Chains A and B, each alone.
Chain A
Amino acid sequence: MTEFLQQLINGLALGAIYALIALGYTMVYGILRFINFAHGDVFMLGAFAGLFFTPVVERVFPPQSYSGGLVVLLLAMAVCAGLGILIEMLAYRPLRNRPKLTVLITAIGVSLFIEYTCQHRLVFGAAPRKFPDLIPVKTWNVDLLVISSTQVIVFVTTLLLLVILRFIVQKTRMGTAMRAVSFNEQAAALMGVNINSIISFTFGLGSALAAAGGILFAMSYASIDPLMGVQTGLKAFVAAVVGGIGNLPGAALGGLLIGVIETFAGGIPGLSNYRDGIAFTILIAVLIFRPTGLLSKPQVEKV
């Protein structure tokens, strides 16, 4: 029982990070209907932004303090939001009304470009880097359970970000416009919604969440490298599809689900080697039995 709870906590901590990344995939898909393959790389860039901001921030704030950690997180989110907007403007905007496949392939190209540029020795280099401790590292023992301060921070940050995101999407003018564009782009444009600025805003929002995910991931696993976004990004995308792509609560649920199942599978001796395959197996099962995902309504295709 203790082991079960422990695995559950570890799984939820991983799942929370998947959820943050999955939200970006699902928002972009909801509006532009394509998989932004470069999203996983924005997640990676978020972690690296954290790595480079930490020494700068530590000059002003005390090292390993919660306030300093928060500033690093916000800076990384801001930088990545900018990068996300830039990627959209340079690579995806010229292709706005092209066939979807073209955009998908471009997204793969952008993803490869970021990965290889970052692996270059003049940029980050291919070797893994150690991520500094942003906050005081503590562990608490509750009965036999071990909970680390990093895990608590992961939960608290994710929850806060989800609440803020929900507020933005449901209550603000920008959020209403986002929902309108994803519902029907043309009609939204006719109602005076500036499509370009909404798309930029969506990319910025999604990228900021991915950056937060990157920082939390780096805090949890302490090691970052330019290819860390590939597998994590794919699994987060799987999470978005499992939850029902285009559906925000679905992405969060899918992320938690994938994180928990993967962690449990990692704990079973015979299955632990197949860990990386688990997420895809879930994906295929969900797509076969419920092609629109767990939380979305079936859609009818009009001819």
Chain B
Amino acid sequence: MNSGAKRYLLLALLAALIVSGFSAYFNRYYLGVAIDVGINIMLAVSLNLINGHTGQFSLGHAGFMAVGGYIAAKFSLLLQPALPPWMQPLIFCAGLLLGGAIAALTGLAVGVPTLRLYGDYLAIVTLGFGEIIRVIFQTSETFGAATGLTGIPNWTHFGWAWSGAAICVFVVTCLVNSTYGRGFIAVKDDEIAASASGINPVRYKVTAFVVGAFFAGVAGGLYAHHKSFLSPTGFDFMKSIDIVVMVILGGMGRTVGVIIAAILLTLLPEYLREFSDYRMILYALLIILIMIARPQGLFTFARRRPDSK
């Protein structure tokens, strides 16, 4: 499995770089949408580690994305004028990693006290943390307060977004399929039984949170350098819900399904632009209908599937 996964990773990275090399020949609009797709795949797959594989319901993913986005953007804005242009990719890369690292630290800070809670309580606390993070950015003058940050250099191109997505998918897949990763699934299936078998559920939950938050942070950095504009309202509760819907639609814990869902849900609103008035109403109806008709997700087919709790 692992060598296969590595081959996929190399292929994906190669494809991303080749397409990126020819990006001048593509329509800018389509390229922009493709970058959105890459970023959303990262967000959905990283949330899937927390919500799907580990079975913890987090509603605060946009908060981690905001942390990464703001940190990376501020980093570029501070360093760009000071350093020569050839260092751009280095600054960008360092900024993304820094944003991811700080998001991961936030994930740790959120995870340690709250992961003793479960189910609804966890959902509402993560939602609360997401809101607190947003309020902090909305108030902080350093990060542009309510107006947000503008003039962020437009550095995210296709190669960055899709390499990020490929690495994220690779890391999450390898992590879950490793011996260590069985713990995530054990925690999801039955926390009490898992801890009776010597698995420390809190440790696994925190690990899932930290890794998930890291990739959400990196995705936030990519997003910031794609839109070249960040505003705190872009990271509200709704954004978290968007990511959650991708995970649910794809099927919790089904990486391939989640990737397909992330692609579909990014493209769908673009195609529905003419019906923009009804777009969100349809979206909400879709969530309700899927939950009633296919709660296991659209892309989960009968494999040996134990009843979910």
Chain A residue numbers with a CB within 8 Å of B135 are 273-274, 276-277
Determine the interface band of chain A, counting residues with CB < 8 A from chain B: 35 or more
User: Of all chain B residues, which has the CB nearest A102?
Assistant: B295
Q: Which residues of A contact B121 (CB under 8 A)?
A: 241, 287, 291
Q: Nearest Cβ in chain B — how far from A284, in angstroms?
A: 6
- Residues A121 and B120 in contact, CB atoms below 8 Å apart: no
CB distance from B226 to the nearest CB of A (A): 25
Quick check: is A137 within 8 A (CB to CB) of the other chain?
no
B304 in the interface, Cβ–Cβ < 8 Å? no
Q: Which of B73-81, B96-104, B124-132, B152-160 has 4 or more CB atoms under 8 Å from chain A?
A: B124-132
CB distance from B241 to the nearest CB of A (A): 6
Residue of B nearest to A302 (CB): B192
Residue of B nearest to A114 (CB): B284
Q: Is B285 an interface residue (CB 8 A)?
A: yes
| Closest Cβ neighbor of B138 among chain A residues | A273
For B119-146 the 0/1 string (1 means CB < 8 A from A) is: 1110111011101100110110000000
Interface residue? A281 (CB, 8 A): yes
Known: A102-B295, A116-B281, A237-B124. A284 touches B129 (CB 8 A): yes
- In contact, A116 and B284 (Cβ under 8 angstroms): yes
- B6 interface hit (Cβ, 8 Å): no
Q: Which of chain B's residues has its CB closest to A270's CB?
A: B139
**Cross-chain contact A112 with B128 (CB below 8 angstroms):** no
Identify A99's interface contact among B136, B286, B308, CB under 8 A: B308
Picked from B237, B283, B292, the residue with its CB within 8 Å of the CB of A94 is B292
Q: When the two chains form their complex, are residues A273 and B139 in contact, meaning their CB atoms are under 8 A apart?
A: yes
Minimum CB–CB distance for A104 against chain B, Å: 6
Asked if A146 is at the interface of the complex by the 8 Å CB criterion, the answer is no
B116 CB–A CB distance under 8 Å = yes
- Check: B309 CB closer than 8 A to any chain A CB: yes
Any B CB within 8 A of the CB of A174:
no
The residue from B131, B283, B295 contacting A98, defined by CB atoms under 8 A apart: B295
With contact pairs A106-B292, A280-B132 given, residues A120 and B281 touching in the complex (Cβ less than 8 Å): yes
Contact status of A100 and B119, CB under 8 A, knowing A112-B241, A281-B132, A284-B113: yes
Instruction: Report Cα–Cα, A277/B135, bound state, in Å.
Output: 6
Q: Check if A113 sits within 8 Å of B281, measured CB to CB.
A: yes
A108, CB-defined interface residue at 8 Å: yes
A215 within 8 A of B: no
Alpha-carbon distance A43/B292, docked complex (angstroms) = 25
A288 close to B291 (CB less than 8 A): no
Which applies to chain A's interface (DSSP): helix, strand, loop or mixed?
helix
B287 interface neighbour in A112, A121, A241, A274, Cβ under 8 Å: A112
Q: With A and B bound together, what is the CA distance between A301 and B119 in angstroms? A: 14
Cβ contacts B284-301/A at 8 Å (1 or 0 each): 111110011001000000
Proximity string of chain A (72-114) to chain B, C-beta cutoff 8 Å, 1 when within and 0 when not: 0000000000000000000100110011111111101110110
- Residues 48-88 (chain B) with a chain A CB within 8 angstroms: 57
CA distance A27 to B124 in the complex (A): 17
* Given A35-B124, A273-B139, A276-B131, CB of A284 within 8 Å of CB of B291: no
A95 pairs with B291, CB closer than 8 A = yes
Q: Which residues on B are within 8 Å of A, measured CB to CB?
A: 57, 113-114, 116-117, 119-121, 123-125, 127-129, 131-132, 135-136, 138-139, 192, 237, 241, 244, 248, 277-278, 280-281, 283-288, 291-292, 295, 308-309
Residues of A within 8 A of B (CB): 29, 33-35, 91, 94-95, 98-106, 108-110, 112-113, 115-117, 120-121, 230, 234, 237-238, 241, 273-274, 276-277, 279-281, 283-284, 287-288, 291, 301, 303
Given contacts A109-B284, A116-B281, A284-B128, 11 further A-B pairs with CB under 8 A are A35-B123, A106-B291, A109-B286, A237-B124, A273-B135, A276-B131, A277-B131, A277-B132, A277-B136, A287-B121, A303-B192
Counting from the closest, the 5 A-B pairs by CB-CB distance are A280-B128, A109-B287, A113-B284, A112-B284, A277-B135
A-B contact pairs, 17 of them (CB 8 A): A34-B120, A35-B123, A100-B120, A101-B119, A103-B291, A105-B244, A106-B291, A108-B244, A109-B286, A112-B280, A112-B284, A113-B284, A116-B280, A234-B131, A238-B124, A276-B135, A281-B128
